[in-house]
Every structure is written in structure tokens, then in C-alpha cells.
Structure 1
């Protein structure tokens, strides 16, 4: 092992000790159910459902497929949910939030952590460097900013205490089973 690699490994271990246990490495089949996503993002289930139905933020691991099925959200999905919540709390219109979220769709989780969203209340600006933030503020446009990296750490802290779930065979609740049976007998 090279000295540089050993130093980096030591640095990573020190960071883990400073910030507590990191999130488990999640595969593409493991995520967080709706109620957990709501708790971590600080939103209601009604908001979560509306945002999914309108396409603002939908789960990337598993979508709802009817009565009794459950959504499964990735860490990135929950990060975006929390950013949307913050933007709404500061008075940004849902139309502007949709534009901002569509711009962020191309970024991976690590890339999102490097972005600061700035807004003047009417528009949302994406800044990827300190110079861009300063230019925006000096131009009189930026009123507030959301450092996505900071939101990332908040979500990570919230989720570290909450359970994950795996995509399973479609679990149908009793009500959904009765509805399906009633439909079959009506035909």
C-alpha cells in the first residue's frame, strides 16, 4: 500500500469517527419506504404522494403500482425531496422548483453535494463554485441559498437511524386482494 493511499484511508476512517457511522452501501434493490422518506425529508405523506403523482419527485427504486403497493426511495430521491421542501419553505413557486429539479436530474449524489441553489424568490440559480455565488449576490440577484451538501449531511444523519427496505415480490394487502377478486367475479 502506498503512503498516499494509507494516508487517504486513515483520513477516511477519521472522518467516519467524526461524523458517526456512514450510511450502509445500498444496492439498486434497497431503499426507504414512503413514511421513512417523509420523516427524513421533513414532509407529510400527502406531499410525498402529490409530488410523486405530479412527477415532481418520484421514487427511483420502486414506484407504487396500485392499492397496497409501496414506493421505495433512494438516498438521492430523499435528498431531492428535502431540497424541494426547503425551496417551498422559502417561497419559491412550484413552477420554478420544477425547473430547478429538472436541471438537477443530470447530477449524481456526489455532484449534488457540490451545488448551492440560490434564489431571488422568483427564479432559482444553480451555483457550482463560490465565485458564482459571489457574482450572483454582488449582482443583487441572490436572496437566499441552499447548500445541497449541507442538506445531504442532514438527510444522511436522519437516515442513519432509520430502517431500509428491499424490493420484494409484490405484496398485496387484504383490501387490494378483495377488490381484485370482486373485479374477477364481475366479469
Structure 2
């Protein structure tokens, strides 16, 4: 494995679409004009124009080169527009979204459609595996996730080796000594 900036750089294989049942194949080179992109993403033309001018989501098929020219957005561009809209709808500020997208781009993520994003309304997270999540708003700060199913299985394994009590008899410790009762008895005999 190659190492960059102190991190292991694991090559990522393109798995493509795992389940394509019922999905139509869209032309990757097809371009969609602004009004079509807006309708598909559920945003206003004003938002689209602002995000393009400020570099948040730029058209990949054809950029506007001056007055009267049309931008053409590709399918993946519209996918990113829709994700930005969903993040806005979940309460994430545009500034935080911009920071998250910037962090991804700094890390070399060019195709935002190939990652998993999550949000709690306050931040944006990239899910990199089942137990690693990166907080993109906090500059790539790693956070951890707890897969409860895994903890459940580990606990089942641990408890299977320990004694269980049904609660219908006297409470006793595993070695037969109730430490608290023993201390109380010693205290009452000392007084």
C-alpha cells in the first residue's frame, strides 16, 4: 500500500452498480440545460446559478462562457445538486455543505456520486466503512460509529460464559459470597 500524508492510500475498485434491476442506462455524455437540471434536482434556477458561479456544483458537460451561452449539466452533476438540496432540507447550512464538499475535493474525491454522506443536521459525515465515519465540516476529523449488531453478538458471546440468575432465589455473587451483606454484618458486629 502506498502512503500519503501519513495515511494509507488503499486503491478503490469501481464496483459499478451492484443491482441494476429496472434501472435505465443514461448516456454519461448527455447534457441537461439549467431549467431541466433544476426540475430534476428540486431547486430553483437562482440556486443553480449561484452554486455554479461560486463553484459549489459546476456543470461538467459545458460551462457558460459568456452572456447567452447555456450551461449543460451531466447526470452526476444533477445527482450532486439533489444531494446538496437534501442536505439543505435536513438543516445543514450552505456554508457547512460548501466546507464538506471542499474537504472531499482536497482529499481527491472528484466524483461525489461514489461516496456515502450522512448528516445529523449540524454536520456532514462521509461513511468510509461500517465502523469509520469522517466529519467533513470539522476538516476531516474522524469520528467513530458503533454497529449495535456487532456489539450484540459480542455481548452474547461474553454472557454465555458467565452465570445467569432468574431472580427467584437469594442474590449471591458468582463465587457464593455477597460482598455487601458481608460488609454490613461486619459493621453491625463492630458497633
**TM-score category (smaller protein):** 0.5 to 0.7
Instruction: Write out the 4+ residue segments of structure 1 that deviate beyond 6 Å after TM superposition.
Output: none
Larger Rg: 2
Question: Offset at 1:46?
Answer: 1.1
Contact 1:34/1:48 (8 A) holds in 2: yes
Question: Offset at 1:112?
Answer: 3.2
Higher relative contact order (CA 8 A, sep 6+): 1
> Which runs of 5 or more structure 1 residues have no equivalent in the other structure?
1-11, 140-187
RMSD (Å) for aligned C-alpha atoms: 2.8
1:100-139 matched pairs, under 5 angstroms: 100-105=100-105, 106-109=108-111, 112-113=113-114, 115-132=115-132, 136=144, 138=146
- Count of aligned pairs: 120
Q: Identify the residue that residue 24 of structure 2 maps to in structure 1.
A: 21
Contact 2:32/2:72 (8 A) holds in 1: yes
- After superposition, the C-alpha distances for 1:78-115 in whole angstroms (9 at most, x for unaligned) are 11111110110011011110011123333354x733x2
Compute the TM-score of the two structures, normalised by the length of structure 2.
0.54
Compute the TM-score of the two structures, normalised by the length of structure 1.
0.55
> Which runs of 5 or more structure 2 residues have no equivalent in the other structure?
1-15, 134-142, 148-191
1:119/1:137 Cα in 2 relative to 1: closer, same or farther (>3 Å)?
Answer: farther
The CA distance in 1 between the partners of 2:85 and 2:68, in whole Å, is: 26
Question: Offset at 1:117?
Answer: 1.6
1:123/1:20 Cα in 2 relative to 1: closer, same or farther (>3 Å)?
Answer: closer
The CA distance in 1 between the partners of 2:144 and 2:22, in whole Å, is: 32
